Structure 1
Amino acid sequence: MARDAGENGIAQRYYLHSYCLATEAGAQEVAATSLRGLADQALDLGYTGTALCFADAADHTGRHLDEPKARAYYATTHARAAAADSDFATARARLSVAESAMDRAATTPGSSWAGHYSPGRWAHEAALVHARMGDMVAAEEHIGQALSLGLDRRRTRAMVLADLGGIRFRRGDVDGAVGAWTEFAGIAEGVHSTRIDRSAADITVRLGSIPGTAHVRELLVQRGSI
């Protein structure tokens, strides 16, 4: 919650405190999830080396857990951090491990801390790994998979649509990008998140170079993000 509010320093302290408590209690999954949160935050802030360090630690901490979704959760974060650090071999290897784990996971949430990690969320994160490695075709395929499987929260769906627009834009599909961003603007309305705000700001800048998109830019400005 602190991170969503943009309180990065407070969020880091909560993550670290959670990790310490979980380690003392022998709760490996919670410890791994705390490290995963630190890695994800470092990625958002652009500290790829730090992100890779935390992601590798989370992956190793949770690698032998019984819950397949948990193993996939940490391996995918490791893949994202490795791809951001241009270590594509590690990114592909850990993404393959995550995919195999998700294939073995139950379709319904269990009692595991990472039981909320759905196939849709995994497909979205896999798309980000492929996009970082320059494979936009695979990235768009995984984004489509994420949307077809369903997503549990409006914020998550909004972020997927923002990323879909970005991938289409990079592929030269301007009309498809505008369509995804228009849907993003509608779903993101009223959702309070620094991630959503950053996406809205980035999309607004990109739309400035596309004729006939003033109505979409106006929707984004009206939500108070710009």
Structure 2
Amino acid sequence: MTLKISYKLEQQILLMFPTEKLEYYRCDRRGKIYSRFCYLRQSLKNIEKKQSAPESHDGSKVIYEDVAADAVKRLRYENVDASELNELWQLSSSSRLEKIVNDCLSLSDIFKLWPEYKKPTGYRLIDLDFKHLYSSANDILDIFEPKMKKLYDFFSKPNTLKDSNCSVLLKKLTDDVVAKGDTSYIFTTLWCLHEYLFPTGRVVQKDNTGKKITRRFTIKDSQELVCFVGQSVQQLEQFISFQKSRNLNI
């Protein structure tokens, strides 16, 4: 389909349904019909595991870039429903992920570039990106519960964890809490995961005086990348203030 054909289709729809308005179908130079067509064509290519962009000699790569730019504009400046959000997000997947890899050095950089990730629907957008990168894999949401249970069973085995505190936390979880997939069960399992996979390399950091020091990551460092556990509200507030003062993620 070409842009010319999509414009003709729009005019035919307006003739058949007089109450319809052209503004509903038109988005800058590209219309919704053409954007939908490009999305379906790209989806088919993903299913066929053709991850590379089309050859540029026929101009198709340029068209995809324009469609992605239009999709981003609609995401930012239009009030779209859930189904349109999914379509527009997938239309812009390739260009967005490429920018994240090339331009973002930290999680905060990603959130500044794409604040949509921080919204209540952010986890669904991450799932869409995952499916774009790994089209043959199962959805994150579909495999989350069985994978979490598998991790829990593994960590519950004797002598698996080095930190005795993690083993105590696991033993406090009842069968009913685990079966329901309670938040405490998920948190404890992820807490144990970061105990088991803590980094062993060295890192250069600055102390309170500004002096550079070389140190190893500890299990606590690894776990506090997920969540900070304070002994009081005051300690939590101090931690948040410290993170903000250094422009670190909270």
Q: Normalising by structure 2, what TM-score? A: 0.31
Report the TM-score when normalising by structure 1.
0.33
Higher relative contact order (CA 8 A, sep 6+): 1
**Structure with higher helix content:** 1
